[in-house]
Amino acid sequence: MRMALAYAVSDLSLKDVAAWASALRVAQISGPGLFYRLREAEQWLEQVLGQVLSEQLPQAAGGFRLRVVDATVINGPGPKAVQWRAHASINPTTGSIRAVELTDDSGGEKFSRHRFGAGDVVLGDRGYATARGVYALRQQEAHVVVRFNPATLRTGDEKRRRMYLAEKEAGVPKIGATEFKITIPVPPAATRSHKTWDSAKATAWVSARAICARTRTGEVTWLLTTLPAKQKPAIGILGLYRVRWQIELLLKRLKSLLHLDMLPSREGPTAKSWMLARLIAAALAQRLVQPSGPLSPWGYAIRGNG
């Protein structure tokens, strides 16, 4: 583990790490020997990372067990645009990582990558606003607050008749929030949700609320939530969503301070081990020093919500 962390965090070459380990009597190993060890260590490093994160229990925020999910691209040298994605889940009360999964460039953003518990409230950006994703959360008895595009997510009224939310944007006031009770049809497994399909063939319907408000620039922002209005009114949902900014700050810290996006090898056999070791270092660091509470940028504030 000490050699894996030294290779990932210090930016030394494998040969230099082997020499460092020999000088400190950590291990007698050659550069090629360390290469083969790291190449075979992916599963073990994943288990270590999972154990370190599982020891850091989540905390409640404002009466809710909040979770925030997002993904970030990790690029290595070379012309290819995307090599890896880190799919993270955090506790926004502390700004600390709760879980993380590494995938290649084919791994998309979706709620089903993460496990949630009954009563969790999960915050996500527009990439997570799919009917299947919202339904998967409700199956786990978790709730969702997610930004969405009314032109790409099929919605209906309480009687399951098609409802075009985009047509209602003209009536959104400059100050305050407007909400609509909606239902979301879940498409059959073999159907792409953004393609044309018959709502009568939906495998399930999810009851939700669509909340909209204007930003300071006059644009309309749409949020979808499954939280009942008695638990959180519309204006409260807008404020709650701003807590999602915590994961943006975390991903920026991982890249600016830990240099997670400076892969020494784009698709080399030790690339994933290198990233896992850096994430372990981040998980250990957050046990020592944690951010002091959730923040959100003033520019994200919704008018009428402070």
172-198 per-position pLDDT tens digit: 988 889 999 999 999 988 776 556 788
* Position 23 in a domain: yes
User: Could you tell me if 211 and 123 lie in one domain?
Assistant: yes
Query: Do 126 and 231 fall into the same domain?
Result: yes
168 and 128 in a common domain: yes
Query: Which amino acid type is present at position 305?
Result: N
With 70 as the cut, is the pLDDT of residue 17 above it?
yes
Tell me which DSSP letter residue 155 carries.
-
Using CA atoms, how far apart are residues 243 and 92, in angstroms rounded to an integer?
7
Same domain flag for 225 and 278: no
**pLDDT value for 301:** 36
Q: 79 in a domain, yes or no?
A: no
Same domain, 45 and 116: no
Higher-pLDDT residue of 133 and 266 is 133
Does position 126 have pLDDT exceeding 60, yes or no?
yes
**Based on the domain organization, do 119 and 239 belong to the same domain?**
yes
Least confident of 143-152, 211-220, 248-257: 248-257
Please indicate, yes or no, if residue 276 is contained in any of the structural domains: yes
Binned at pLDDT 50, 70 and 90, residue 11 comes out as: confident
* CA–CA distance, 109 with 126 (Å, rounded to integer): 10
Q: Work out the pLDDT band at 223, boundaries 50, 70, 90.
A: very high
Assigned domain for 251 exists:
no
Q: Rounded mean pLDDT of 250-278?
A: 79
**Contact residues for 291 (Cβ-Cβ < 8 A; gap 6+):** 94, 95, 96, 246, 249
pLDDT of residue 192: 66
Predicted pLDDT at 134: 95
What is the extent of the structural domain holding 204? 112-246
Of residues 299 and 146, the one with the higher pLDDT is: 146
Instruction: For residue 217, report the phi and psi dihedrals to the nearest 5 degrees.
Output: -90, 0
Average pLDDT over residues 158-166: 93
- Return the structure tokens found at 246: 């915590």
Residue 96, burial from CB neighbour count under 10 angstroms (0-12, 13-18, 19+): buried
Cα distances from 267 to residues 3, 17, 106, 126, 275, in angstroms, run 21, 21, 14, 29, 12
H-state helical runs in 165-270: 234-241, 245-256
- pLDDT, tens only, 62-87: 456 889 999 988 876 666 655 788 99
- Is the residue at 124 inside a domain? yes
- Of the chain, the percentage scoring pLDDT greater than 70 comes to 86
Q: Given the structure tokens 């009687």, which residue do they identify?
A: 159
Q: Which of 116-120, 131-135, 250-254 is modeled with the greatest confidence?
A: 131-135
Quote the pLDDT of residue 303.
Answer: 37
pTM for this predicted structure: 0.79
Is 35 part of any domain?
yes
Amino acid identity of 200? A
CA atoms of 240 and 158, how far apart (whole Å): 25
Report the chain's terminal Cα–Cα distance, integer Å. 47
State the average pLDDT over residues 197-215.
92
Q: What is the mean pLDDT of residues 146-165?
A: 93
Note whether residue 208 is domain-resident. yes
144 inside domain: yes
Residue 281: is it exposed, middle or buried by C-beta count within 10 angstroms (0-12/13-18/19+)?
middle
Give dist(CA 38, CA 167) in Å, integer: 55
Do 173 and 123 sit in the same domain of this protein?
A: yes
Q: Name the domain count of the chain.
A: 2
Taking only the tens place, the pLDDT of each residue in 22-68 is 998 989 999 899 998 998 999 898 888 888 876 654 444 445 688 99
